[in-house]
Amino acid sequence: MSPRIVQFGTSRFLQAHAALFVHEARQAGQDVGPITVVQVSGATSRSGRVKAFNHPDGYPVVVRGMSDGQPVDHKIQVTSVENGLSAAEHWEELATLFAEDVEFVISNTGDTGYQTSPEDDGFDGKGQVPRSFPAKLAALLFRRWLGSGRPLIILPCELITANGRVLKQAVIECAQRNSSPTEFLAWLDEHVAFAETLVDRIVSEPIEPIGAVAEPYALWAIKRAPGVRPPCNHPSIILTDDLEPYERLKLHILNLGHTFLAEVWLRGNRPADETVRAILADDQIRQRLDTVYRNEVVPGFAARGMGNEAQAYVATTLDRFRNPFLNHRIADISQHHVTKVDRRVRSFLEWADDAADRLSAPVLREIAARYPLEEATQ
């Protein structure tokens, strides 16, 4: 039997990332999948999307951009997803599937996906549906322990540092609050591998009811650990002993660049629907970004012995930002701006300062000073 995958989250990102990789692996003859997509929350606004995952023809992903200096513009009809379920409406079907057939779990539940709800996270192994994602996962793992007890690999894709460890701890706490037996907790520790991963791909537009427009660049870095393996072989999937270099490059170059442009956009009374590509068509703003990268960001990485890697990643990032096909709206990037300044800018300055003398970064320090740390944590 092919290794079945349950994917928690209906986001367009996963549609154009993990699910697409599995599709391409299947097309290449690998024995992997299919995928069952699960809507984690009970929001009825996405019910149409859930039903669309049941269509046997799959959904389109349009890949547009530049790769090795050449334009790329093609459509892939992704058929790795077999069906869609709602955790709220199809809990027993999901639990039955989870108890026996699943070998991999993939998740992308958003910035708040690991938050729990102790008052609503009860489960008894007999059908009660907990509210939060960690509690749902704990309840489903409990059903698996009662059922097949087979090992399982969990590959979280949320942009949280050490996401596998954080998710595992949240699951354990939910299980303990529900007075789960110590034997279950021992099984969880020994037979369920919570991987730490990093994902990177700009998926700029949805295609309704499901589907997406994405750039050619894609990365899924997975940290080596006992029991951890990727669901398939794919050029965009990397097994590594250390995720931090990938995390720092993405967070403090690509993500920091997005936040810098969002700051310019927020303070410049610029068009509401302006995209990354459009704002960088302004030579003055492009030069400001180039200067920040050259004089503030790359020296910070150099202090950590990653100057060459940073220069190469800056060049790749600028090509991605100028992708002539993607309409990446800065209004979307600017959401949760204060928190993003803290994670992308302030944490970079602290990381660079810890490596050597205080980094000369006047532009980034000015941005960080506008948003005090207490505002970022509210």
C-alpha dihedral sign at 80, 82, 86, 92: negative
Domain ranges of the chain: 4-240, 244-376
Q: What is the pLDDT of residues 5-50, one digit of tens each?
A: 999 999 999 999 999 999 999 999 999 999 999 999 875 555 688 9
Q: What is the pLDDT of residues 236-286, one digit of tens each?
A: 999 999 999 999 999 999 999 999 999 999 999 899 999 999 999 999 999
The neighbouring-strand residues paired with 83 are 36
Phi, psi for residue 152 in degrees, rounded to 5:
-150, 145
Whole-number Å distance between alpha carbons of 365 and 114: 30
Whole-number Å distance between alpha carbons of 158 and 170: 14
Residue 168 has pLDDT above 70, yes or no: yes
Cβ atoms 136, 9 nearer than 8 A? no
Q: Are strands 203-206 and 212-214 parallel, antiparallel or unpaired?
A: antiparallel
Amino acid identity of residue 160, one-letter, is I
The DSSP string of 17-34 is: THHHHHHHHHHTT-----
Highest mean pLDDT: which of 202-206, 260-264, 353-357, 369-373? 260-264
Q: What is the pLDDT of residues 197-249, one digit of tens each?
A: 999 998 988 999 999 999 999 999 999 999 999 999 999 999 999 999 999 99
Which DSSP state fits 273?
A: T
* Domain 244-376 in this protein, CATH class: mainly alpha
Whole-number Å distance between alpha carbons of 51 and 91: 15
Pick the CATH number of 4-240 from 3.40.50.10190, 3.40.1010.20, 3.40.50.720, 3.40.50.300: 3.40.50.720
The neighbouring-strand residues paired with 64 are 73
Domains 4-240 and 244-376 share a fold: no
Continuous segment of H or E residues that includes residue 73: strand 70-78
